[in-house]
């Protein structure tokens, strides 16, 4: 819990400081007087000001945001000798630069964070496939347990992208689904032999909402894992059947078990009429083949509420891992590429939610961010940097949306001013501000509801 809270506060603090520093730095460069640089809202808990004419730097009690207050005639009287330093007196392009600097600072930070994560290197699951779900696109395309996906190509392009890990494969799948494109895969066996090409016709999918149900329809799930048992809980169904850690499961009720994914599904789906009949397992234990009778216990699935089987043992070995690490130049290029891809993906997802093609359940709020911040921090520095980059991209893109109260809303006003030759009237500014507040409150309410629903297991 402490790690989660500290990681969340560090995440929010870094992103706010960078965002507001973008506004501050460009404002100073444009000759605008900055009165206050605040991290947080509400009551001031710490302040520093070098002189009465210098910028006041403050920390406020509510750390979920920040602001840069500039000299502006619309917010109070400005002395004649300082009129040239007032924000509202600046040429249009300077105001555009100052306002857009915050989101752009977040996007630039994301590039550097993604690059740093690749420079450090992370251990990720190798792109070895488990058995595809029955009747899925992957099964129909001929993918099999133990296949190694080496590269991919979206749409009709002949340009192949090398896949370094399972995470890369999932990222390519996500983008292809959202684009409604077929995904070609270059596949070999686990040793790298017998390469072949298969095509997943993702354009045939009716939904563009990337969800667990859709991924099951595609058929690519967890990475390949050997069907070997790990820890066996005392007094559980596995222990009572005589199963032990290290047992390799060969078959269940006469059906061969190719990987841990198949075994987990057989256990889950063993329930009939709210009861789990006994299953005959053939296992290899230190070179000896044993026949054991296992009767799973019945529990309700947290997600669907349907009855499923459990044996109270860890099923499967950890997947094979590969280290993904890049050099200085390649890491920077990859950081810029990933920042662009995530930005485009974020805009498309927001657009699909707006027209009803994607679920509003995809919106996340501070509780989910805090949870993921804690998890990534516990996994290591590179994972945390990657998470921080993802949130930084989201913050940058969201702030560029043309909504009043956001930087993108101000840029929308300036676009009108540039096209019409006159600023937006005070009456319309007030109306748009009220509308913007209503939209933001609605989005925050949905995001918070989704957070609570996830914590309660309702999503």
pLDDT in tens, 255-265: 999 999 999 99
pLDDT given for residue 289 in this prediction: 95
Inform me whether the pLDDT recorded for 378 exceeds 80: no
Residue 127 in contact with residue 392, Cβ under 8 Å? no
Amino acid 402: pLDDT: 87
Nearest one of 208, 106, 167 to 319, comparing CA atoms:
167
> What are the Cα distances from residue 123, in Å, to 19, 111, 269, 323, 374?
30, 20, 32, 4, 18
C-alpha torsion sign, points 150, 147, 203, 216: negative
Q: What whole-number distance in Å separates Cα of residue 281 and Cα of residue 167?
A: 33
21-25, 108-112, 180-184, 236-240: segment of lowest average pLDDT:
180-184
Band of pLDDT at residue 94, cut at 50, 70 and 90? very high
Strand stretches in 73-116, DSSP E: none
Single pTM value for the model: 0.82
Average pLDDT over residues 39-51: 89
Among 83-97, 209-223, 297-311, name the one with the lowest average pLDDT.
Answer: 209-223
Residue that wins the pLDDT comparison between 285 and 432: 285
Question: Which residue carries 């256990």 as its tokens?
Answer: 267
Residue 346 tokens read as: 């974020």
Helix (H) or strand (E) holding 411: helix 407-420
What DSSP element (H or E) covers 45? strand 34-48
What local confidence, expressed as pLDDT, does residue 303 receive? 65
Which DSSP letter does residue 18 get? Answer: H
Point out which residues pair with 143 in neighbouring strands: none
Residue 231 — pLDDT band, cuts 50, 70, 90? Answer: very high
String of DSSP letters for 62-92: EEEEEEEEE--GGGS---GGGGGG-GGGS-H
Parallel, antiparallel, or unpaired for β 196-200 and 248-252? Answer: unpaired
Report helix, strand or coil for 114.
helix
Range in 218-232, 282-296, 351-365, 372-386 with the lowest mean pLDDT: 351-365
Residue 392 pLDDT grade (very low, low, confident, very high; cuts 50, 70, 90): very high
The stretch 201-222 carries a mean pLDDT of 79
Q: What is the mean pLDDT of the chain?
A: 86
Q: Which residues contact 292 (CB under 8 A, 6 or more apart)?
A: 241, 242, 243, 280, 281, 283
Please state the φ and ψ torsions of residue 236, each to the nearest 5 degrees. Answer: -85, 175
Mean pLDDT of 243-249: 94
The pLDDT value given to residue 240: 94
Assess whether pLDDT exceeds 70 at residue 458: no
Closest alpha carbon to 106 in 20, 8, 6, 9 = 20
pLDDT at 107 over 90: yes
Three-state SS annotation for 152-189: EEECCCCCCEECCCHHHHHHHHHHHHHHCCCEEEEEEC
Active centre residues (catalytic):
20
CA distances from 378 to 2, 6, 253, 325, 374 (A): 11, 11, 40, 19, 6
> What's 229-317's CATH class?
mainly beta
Mean pLDDT, residues 64-84 taken together: 89
DSSP tag of 128: B
CA distance 301 to 377: 29
- What's the number of CA atoms in the CB half-sphere (13 Å) around residue 93? 0
Q: Which helix (H) or strand (E) holds 262?
A: helix 260-268
More confident residue, 224 or 215: 224
Q: What 3-state DSSP class applies to 48?
A: strand
- Per-residue confidence (pLDDT) for residue 360, from 0 to 100: 62
Neighbours of 106 (CB within 10 A): 25
Q: Looking at the predicted structure, is the pLDDT value of residue 367 above 90? A: no
User: Domain 137-218's class?
Assistant: mainly beta
Paired tokens of 95: 């105001």
> Distance between CA atoms of 262 and 41, rounded to whole angstroms?
52
Q: Which of 24-38, 204-218, 229-243, 424-438 has the lowest mean pLDDT?
A: 204-218
pLDDT at 48 over 70: yes
Q: Does residue 56 sit in helix, strand or coil?
A: strand
Q: How far apart are CA 84 and CA 111, in angstroms?
A: 35
Instruction: Name the CA radius of gyration of the chain, rounded.
Output: 27
Evaluate whether 242 touches 299 at the Cβ level (below 8 Å): no
Range of weakest confidence among 217-226, 242-251, 314-323, 421-430:
421-430
Q: Diameter of the chain by CA atoms?
A: 93
Higher per-residue pLDDT: 430 or 21:
21
Q: Which of 392, 378, 301, 385 is nearest to 343 (CA)?
A: 392
Tokens 């050997």 belong to 226
Which two three-digit tokens encode residue 369? 């961010």
Lowest mean pLDDT among 362-371, 413-422, 425-434: 362-371
Residue 364 has pLDDT above 70, yes or no: no
CB-based contacts of 286, cutoff 8 Å, min separation 6 = 246
Q: 10 Å Cβ neighbour count for 428?
A: 13
Residue 52 has pLDDT above 80, yes or no: yes
Which parts of 167-287 are beta strand (E)? 183-188, 196-200, 229-232, 248-252, 255-256, 279-285
pLDDT average, residue stretch 411-440? 83
**So where are the chain's domains?**
92-121+330-459, 137-218, 229-317
pLDDT band at 368 (very low <50, low <70, confident <90, very high): low
What is the rounded distance in angstroms from the CA atom of residue 168 to the CA atom of residue 125?
10
What is the tens place of the pLDDT at every residue in 299-358? 887 766 789 999 999 999 989 999 888 999 999 999 999 999 889 888 887 777 776 666
Ramachandran class of 382: left when φ > 0, alpha when ψ lies in -120 to 50, beta otherwise = alpha
Selected residue with higher pLDDT from 249 and 80: 249
* Over residues 90-119, mean pLDDT: 95
């Amino acid at each position: 819990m402490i790690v989660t809270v500290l990681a969340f506060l560090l995440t929010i603090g870094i992103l706010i400081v960078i965002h507001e520093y973008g506004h501050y730095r460009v404002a100073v460069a444009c000759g605008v007087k900055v009165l206050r640089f605040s991290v947080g809202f509400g009551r001031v808990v710490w302040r520093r000001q070098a002189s009465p004419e210098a910028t006041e730097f403050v920390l406020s009690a509510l750390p979920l945001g920040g602001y840069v207050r500039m000299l502006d005639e619309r917010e109070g009287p400005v002395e004649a000798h300082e009129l040239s330093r007032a924000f509202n007196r600046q040429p249009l392009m300077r105001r555009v630069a100052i306002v857009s600097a915050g989101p752009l600072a977040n996007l630039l930070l994301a590039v550097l964070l993604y690059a740093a994560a690749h420079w450090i290197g992370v251990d990720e699951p190798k792109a070895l496939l488990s058995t595809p779900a029955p009747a899925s696109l992957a099964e129909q395309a001929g993918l099999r347990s133990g296949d190694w996906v080496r590269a991919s190509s979206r749409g009709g392009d002949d340009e192949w992208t090398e896949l370094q890990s399972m995470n890369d494969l999932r990222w390519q799948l996500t983008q292809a689904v959202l684009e409604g494109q077929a995904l070609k895969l270059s596949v070999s066996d686990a040793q790298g032999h017998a390469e072949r090409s298969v095509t997943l016709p993702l354009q045939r999918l009716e939904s563009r909402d990337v969800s667990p149900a859709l991924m099951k329809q595609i058929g690519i799930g967890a990475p390949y894992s050997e069907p070997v048992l790990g820890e066996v809980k005392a007094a559980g169904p596995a222990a009572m059947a005589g199963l032990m850690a290290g047992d390799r499961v060969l078959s269940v009720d006469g059906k061969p078990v190719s990987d841990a994914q198949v075994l987990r599904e057989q256990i889950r789906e063993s329930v009939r009429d709210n009861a789990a009949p006994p299953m005959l397992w053939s296992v290899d234990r230190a070179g000896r083949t044993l026949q054991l009778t296992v009767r799973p216990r019945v529990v309700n699935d947290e997600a669907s509420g349907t009855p499923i089987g459990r044996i109270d043992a860890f099923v499967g070995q950890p997947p094979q891992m590969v280290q993904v690490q890049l050099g200085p130049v390649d890491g920077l290029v990859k950081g810029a590429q990933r920042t662009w891809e995530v930005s485009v993906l974020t805009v498309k997802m927001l657009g699909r939610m707006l027209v009803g093609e994607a679920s509003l359940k995809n919106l996340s709020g501070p509780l989910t961010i805090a949870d993921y911040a804690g998890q990534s921090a516990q996994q290591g520095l590179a994972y945390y940097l990657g998470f921080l980059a993802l949130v930084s991209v989201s913050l940058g893109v969201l702030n560029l949306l043309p909504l009043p109260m956001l930087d993108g809303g101000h840029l929308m006003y300036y676009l009108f001013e540039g096209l019409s030759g006159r600023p937006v009237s005070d009456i319309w500014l007030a109306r748009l501000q009220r509308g913007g507040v209503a939209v933001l409150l609605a989005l925050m309410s949905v995001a918070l509801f989704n957070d609570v629903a996830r914590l309660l297991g309702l999503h």
